[in-house]
A and B are shown apart, each in its own frame.
Chain A
């Protein structure tokens, strides 16, 4: 941690679902390169973006996440040839459902980050953390969580 780091009132919790072959290695490279990024991100590694079940995204919010990042290999780079293409199509529709239900779409992020893009990983994490910090805690969703059982 650099000494210039400022204290904030609110530290967002960000859950990142990343694929094993690209984004996870990108994050790994960011570490080896000593690229600094905020510690607000919790990385969860899955075999492929095609494995990232939409239920996991919902689950993250349920467990108190303020934002979710989903990231994998660039199109054409999938370790399993087409997992990311299938995932992309699924997200195209899933985003519509989230939006319709009234999720704050500024809190769901999708990116492609390859194993070589440590710099991009750093930028994305900084960007998302700052954005989410500006938005504040996800209050609308907390209200649902705390709603009494009828």
Chain B
């Protein structure tokens, strides 16, 4: 599998099909892998792929610095492949000019991350090629959202208190935003100060407003790669916020972002038959 990957990357660079291969490198086999940007065929030996390859590398596709490097090939796991689909649907990348190398993945992390335990895309979809083999098994919707169901069994005041407690640790480093492949706005609403929508100081209220903003800007777009949760230095379980909206999107619109490359984005369209039982 690793040889296939290096061979493919070498070939792509040697044939000048791409200018840069975005992949994973690793200095210490016990430590986490990190993103590498390979521009010369002889450097492809640096590429690795194993259960320490956490990063969702598609986040680099929309970065100016990477765009300046020319045509890119990017390594994706099953979950990351979904963000390529969303980026293409939202016209952020020209899908034809990016080579997407899918890596069969049996889950990352030791023990496996929460997302991997309910993953049904071990084999990446909508990629240009897939390297390796992995078995996919269907996951029932209720299992995907089991973690959320546990939290929703608490009362509203308890939930608000929980988030108040959790978000009081947030230092507003915006790592959750920087690492997110779907947060590609050149100017974020959180950085605007005329008018200031979200308080910049790290008060509990400002943190809550920021997280509501972040979660809702990802409503029906978040592919659930959980990079925000991994990147959070305060260890806040941001995954739960994303799950709330993912579940609602699946229940109400039968839509899972990044699964179907031809489906209309939920908040980009409407139906006159949308339910309005909550509107008087």
Task: Answer yes or no: are A and B bound together in one complex.
Answer: yes
A positions within 8 Å CB-CB of B = 53-55, 58-59, 62, 75-76, 82, 85-86, 88-105, 109-112, 124, 140-141, 143-145, 147, 149-150
| Interface residue ranges of B207-255 to A (CB < 8 Å) | 208-209, 212-213, 215-216, 219-220, 240-241, 244-245, 247-249, 252
Whole-angstrom CA separation of A150 from B216 in the bound complex: 25
Is A93 in contact with B274, judged by CB distance below 8 angstroms? no
Within 8 A of A (CB), among B149-185: 151-152, 155-164, 168-169
- Since A89-B271, A96-B248, A102-B161 are in contact, a sample of 7 more A-B pairs with Cβ atoms closer than 8 Å, ordered by chain A residue number, is A55-B212, A85-B272, A89-B274, A90-B267, A97-B245, A101-B212, A140-B160
CB of B219 to closest CB in A, whole Å: 5
Tell me whether A86 and B197 are in contact (CB under 8 A). Answer: no
Interface of B is mostly: helix
Cβ 8 A contact of A93, one of B205, B208, B248:
B248
Are the C-beta atoms of A112 and B279 separated by less than 8 Å? yes
B204 at the interface (CB under 8 A from A): yes
Q: Which residues of the other chain, B, contact A55 by a CB distance below 8 angstroms? A: 189, 197-198, 209, 212-213
B interface list, Cβ under 8 A from A? 148, 151-152, 155-164, 168-169, 189, 197-199, 201-205, 208-209, 212-213, 215-216, 219-220, 240-241, 244-245, 247-249, 252, 266-267, 270-272, 274-276, 278-280
Give bound CA distance, A122 to B194, whole Å.
Answer: 35
CA gap between A59 and B157 in the complex, in Å? 19
What residues on A are CB-neighbors of B278 within 8 Å? 91-92, 95, 110
* Contact indicator A144/B204 (Cβ below 8 Å): yes
Q: Contact: B203 with A147, CB < 8 Å?
A: yes
Question: In the bound complex, how far is the Cα of B275 from the Cα of A145, in angstroms?
Answer: 33
- Inter-subunit contact B168/A147 (CB<8 Å): yes
Instruction: From known contacts A88-B279, A96-B245, A110-B280, infer whether A54 and B212 are also in contact, taking CB-CB under 8 Å.
Output: yes
Residues of B within 8 A of A99 (CB): 156
User: In the complex, which residues of chain B have a beta carbon less than 8 angstroms from the beta carbon of A91?
Assistant: 278-279
Cβ–Cβ contact A93 & B161, under 8 A: no
